[in-house]
């Protein structure tokens, strides 16, 4: 009997989360090890069913058990579904990974980002025979080692260091040129001023990309093992991780709106961005999910937004409730300039006639600058929504997970954050509880004398 994690040999090779396998219509596959031989098959193929046949999990479990009996009784050939030959290269597996994992159901932007990270790894130069190098994509997949992955990391760092040195030298040269032009009372080109204003050094330069490429590589090798291309990953050895990501570079972001920042932000925003900000705070949706939202996905009668799989980061459909505040915003945006409702295909957060707005990067930066708010990303509004949900009475962490569309509660747990204001409120509750405990300990019905801090005016004891 397998563990609850290995599903007792049953699996699907689609991009859906494991918890959705019983509901999705993708084909079931089975794996089984008997007398040291690894067997794999498609249960649709085993049952003689077409790929579009909808097979439920109970039927798949029955077929798996029957298939295992056939193997034990010698009625199933060892070569039922052979693994690829030893000549298969890393690039060949990347092609399959892109075709079978990245492509199905992914948003265009998400798929592009994943393919970009894989492409960086494919181009990496790794050690070869006689002191030469070769592209990682040309190396046999079974021969990729920890040393190859570390060679990519060090090579990438060397490229970044060289680029940084060039950038710093160009910035210094630009500053020298500006001094000379100013002395000659000559107009300084704007491009030259921008180059001179480049900051140096940048401690995280390139390390974030390296981290993300390694994370994608780790997933690719895990996928290749599941698919039968490999039996081991260069990221692990003897049950332990041997290639570690630099988690210090990308620590969890904790930024939230604090104090009067929400009002400042809304007052500084133009009408379109203001509506988008309020929608993000009310739904916890990602920027891309909101900008791609169309009216046929909004049900104002049932107060629900139905996000299809192709518009979510996880490639899974999600339903988001419409709050009272959001409903008022949506009802105002429903009507076009001609006084009629916008068509079903129009974009909810598009322009005045419902055409799609691709991005709000420039508008967001200008709004934050006018509001006097620093280091705030639009995505931080998603954290703000989730944190406010969790701070609401009676709302559980699992409910927040489902609202935000996270695949597991651990992601939600590390995603949320508190604010200085909330910490101060918690401190006040703690002080009041301590006063009550002291009164009981002294056997008095009167509260114990408060500490000098409790007489300080509100805000006088801020966390530094």
What's the pLDDT tens digit per position in 396-427? 888 888 888 887 777 787 777 766 666 667 66
How much is the average pLDDT of 160-184?
83
The pLDDT value recorded for residue 201 is 60
The pLDDT value recorded for residue 463 is 32
Binning pLDDT at 50, 70 and 90, where does residue 182 land? confident
Backbone CA torsion sign across 217, 223, 224, 225: positive
Binning pLDDT at 50, 70 and 90, where does residue 461 land? very low
Rounded distance, CA 166 to CA 31, Å?
Answer: 53
Binning pLDDT at 50, 70 and 90, where does residue 205 land? low
The pLDDT value recorded for residue 78 is 47
Whole-number percent of the chain with pLDDT over 90: 39
The pLDDT value recorded for residue 15 is 60
What does pTM read for this prediction? 0.59
- Does position 95 have pLDDT exceeding 80, yes or no? yes
In 3-state terms the chain splits into helix, strand, coil percentages (rounded to 5) of 50, 10, 40
Binning pLDDT at 50, 70 and 90, where does residue 436 land? low
Strand partners, 33: 38
Q: Which of 331, 355, 329, 354 is nearest to 277 (CA)?
A: 329
Whole-number percent of the chain with pLDDT over 70: 83
The DSSP secondary-structure symbol of 450 reads P
CA angle (251, 459, 277) in 5-degree steps: 50
The pLDDT value recorded for residue 437 is 59
Binning pLDDT at 50, 70 and 90, where does residue 198 land? low
How much is the average pLDDT of 91-102?
91
How much is the average pLDDT of 380-392?
89
Higher pLDDT among residues 443 and 91, named by residue: 91
Q: Tell me the pLDDT of the chain averaged across its residues.
A: 82
What's the pLDDT tens digit per position in 22-51? 877 778 888 888 776 777 788 887 888 776
The pLDDT value recorded for residue 279 is 96
Higher pLDDT among residues 353 and 79, named by residue: 353
What's the pLDDT tens digit per position in 253-274? 888 998 899 999 999 999 999 9
Q: 261-409 has which CATH code?
A: 1.10.443.10
- Count of CB atoms within 10 A of residue 418's CB? 15
- Does position 391 have pLDDT exceeding 60, yes or no? yes
Give the helix ranges, DSSP H, for 75-144: 90-97, 108-123
Rounded distance, CA 423 to CA 391, Å?
Answer: 12
The pLDDT value recorded for residue 292 is 93
For residue 348, give Cα distances in angstroms to 159, 182, 291, 331, 345: 43, 50, 8, 10, 9
142-156, 294-308, 417-431 — which is least confidently predicted?
417-431
186-190, 316-320, 460-464 — which is least confidently predicted?
460-464
The DSSP secondary-structure symbol of 116 reads H
């Amino acid at each position: 009997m397998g563990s609850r994690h290995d599903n007792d040999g049953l699996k699907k090779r689609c991009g859906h989360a494991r918890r959705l396998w019983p509901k999705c219509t993708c084909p079931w596959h089975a794996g089984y090890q008997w007398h040291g031989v690894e067997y794999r098959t498609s249960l649709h193929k085993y049952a003689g069913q077409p790929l579009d046949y909808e097979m439920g999990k109970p039927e798949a479990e029955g077929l798996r058990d029957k298939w295992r009996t056939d193997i034990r009784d010698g009625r199933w050939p060892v070569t039922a579904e052979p693994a690829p030959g030893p000549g298969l290269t890393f690039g060949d597996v990347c092609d399959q990974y892109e075709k079978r994992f990245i492509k199905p159901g992914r948003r265009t932007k998400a798929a592009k980002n994943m393919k970009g990270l894989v492409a960086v790894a494919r181009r990496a130069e790794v050690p070869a025979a006689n002191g030469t190098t070769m592209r990682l994509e040309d190396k046999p997949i079974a021969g990729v080692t920890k040393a190859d992955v570390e060679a990519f990391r060090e090579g990438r760092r060397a490229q970044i260091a060289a680029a940084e040195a060039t950038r710093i030298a160009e910035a210094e040269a630009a500053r020298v040129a500006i001094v000379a032009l100013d002395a000659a009372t000559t107009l300084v080109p704007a491009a030259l001023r921008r180059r001179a204003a480049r900051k140096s050094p940048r401690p995280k330069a390139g390390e974030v990309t390296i981290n993300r490429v390694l994370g994608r590589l780790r997933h690719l090798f895990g996928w290749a093992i599941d698919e039968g291309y490999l039996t081991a990953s260069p990221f692990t050895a003897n049950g332990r991780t041997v290639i570690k990501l630099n988690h210090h570079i990308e620590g969890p972001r904790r930024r939230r709106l604090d104090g009067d920042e929400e009002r400042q932000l809304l007052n500084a925003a133009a009408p379109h961005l203001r509506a988008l900000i309020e929608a993000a705070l009310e739904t916890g949706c990602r920027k891309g999910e909101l900008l791609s939202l169309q009216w046929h996905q909004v049900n104002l009668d049932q107060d629900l937004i139905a996000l299809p799989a192709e518009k979510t980061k996880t490639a899974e459909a999600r339903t988001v409730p419409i709050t009272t505040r959001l409903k008022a915003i949506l009802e105002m945006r429903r009507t076009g300039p001609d006084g009629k409702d916008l068509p079903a295909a129009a974009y909810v957060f598009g322009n005045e006639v419902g055409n799609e707005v691709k991005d709000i990067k420039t508008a967001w930066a200008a709004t934050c600058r006018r509001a006097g708010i620093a280091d705030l990303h639009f995505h931080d509004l998603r954290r703000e929504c989730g944190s406010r949900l969790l701070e609401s009475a009676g709302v559980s962490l699992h409910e927040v997970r489902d609202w935000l569309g996270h695949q597991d509660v651990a992601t939600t747990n590390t995603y949320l954050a508190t604010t200085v204001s909330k910490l101060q409120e918690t401190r006040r509750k703690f002080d009041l509880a301590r006063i009550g405990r002291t009164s009981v300990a002294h056997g008095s019905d009167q509260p114990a004398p408060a500490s000098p801090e409790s007489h300080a005016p509100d805000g006088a004891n801020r966390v530094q």
